[in-house]
Amino acid sequence: MLYRVFLSLVDRFPNPSVRTQSLLAALTLFTQAGISVTGATVRVTASGLGCPTWPQCFPGSFTPIGVSEVPVLHQAVEFGNRLLTGVVVLAAAAIVIAVTRARRRREVRVYAWLMPAGTVLQAVLGGLTVLSGLLWWTVAVHLLVSMVMVWWAGVLYVKVREDDDVPVTETIPGPLRALIVLSSLALVGTLIVGTMVTGAGPHAGDKSADRTVPRLEMEIVTLVHAHSQFMVAYLALLVGVVCGLLAVRAPGFVLRRAWWVIGIVIAQGFVGIVQYFTDVPAALVVLHVAGAAAATAATAMLWAAGRARYISPTDGTLGRRASEPAGVA
């Protein structure tokens, strides 16, 4: 009953083209990645408790107020990050409305609905992070869930651009898909240990004299080495994926996605090395989080390319490019 009411409301909107849906999916991906970057900005500027309560900023006020205990800059940074959550929600709502109005296949609609659902979960986790006084593992979980959201948004972007009427094709052989899954697990390990490095590192998210932010009591050099080893494994597996794709003459769009992932990972490694030898400057922390989101999205798109609604070179369908999934041309 409720869904029928929802459909009747959605049908009041114009029927969006595939291009419009793709743009909204790209906006969703950008906002999901962007909120993780602004969250990192909150942490490295020590603004994590700029709004010390949740969902209000201060007791009795949803907006910042003039208090001597919390610098204005910290209030502005933290409150600005909370406001950006509204942009993320709007983008998530827009893609849900678009794919529902266009009556896209169930797979696309499920990924679209994951966007607002995950955003609500993230808001709650953000509140718990503040209420816990920035306990290191709550910050870690908050970031890791952001990366899950980025992964889903990356897959959504790929699926939206496909043609619902074209049957699914295995564009990557099973063993290579398994290798991509293995590389994705290496990415998960890299991200998890990376959050532990953050938990033990110098950027706790708050520097107030009257508060002590709980930190991870582990040797940071050991954690950095573990983090780098996971990244080396991730990169090595990706190189194996590319070699396999070249050997089986995979479609051009699949190879391009694989090369993009490798390029992003190499850039991430370079940023990490510079961070280590320059005492982890704040700007590079933000850049590193942006790179993590980019690597996650690119890996998700590579994985999604394995089973695509794809027009093979021998297919005679008019107006479709054999080098791209259907719906992109």
Tens digit of each residue's pLDDT (9 = 90 or more) over 113-166? 999 999 989 888 888 888 888 888 888 899 999 999 999 999 999 999 998 888
Contact (CB, 8 A) for 250 and 8 = no
pTM above 0.85, yes or no: yes
CA distance 171 to 308: 7
Give pLDDT, residue 320. Answer: 40
Which of 65-79, 206-220, 306-320 is modeled with the greatest confidence? 65-79
Reported as a single tens digit per residue, the pLDDT across 166-181 is 888 888 998 999 999 9
pLDDT above 90 covers a percentage of the chain that reads: 51
Write the single-letter amino acid at 129: T
At residue 154's C-alpha, the angle toward residues 48 and 187, to 5°, is 70
Helices then strands, counting H and E runs in the chain, come out as 9, 2
CB atoms within 10 A of CB 292: 26
CA distance 20 to 34: 21
Instruction: Name the residue ranges covered by the structural domains of the chain.
Output: 14-308
Write the single-letter amino acid at 205: G
pLDDT above 70 covers a percentage of the chain that reads: 91
Position with higher pLDDT, 233 vs 9:
233
For residues 232-249, average pLDDT: 95
Decide if pLDDT at 212 tops 80: no
Q: Burial level of 247, CB count in 10 A (0-12/13-18/19+)?
A: exposed
Give pLDDT, residue 326. Answer: 45
CA distance 179 to 309: 21
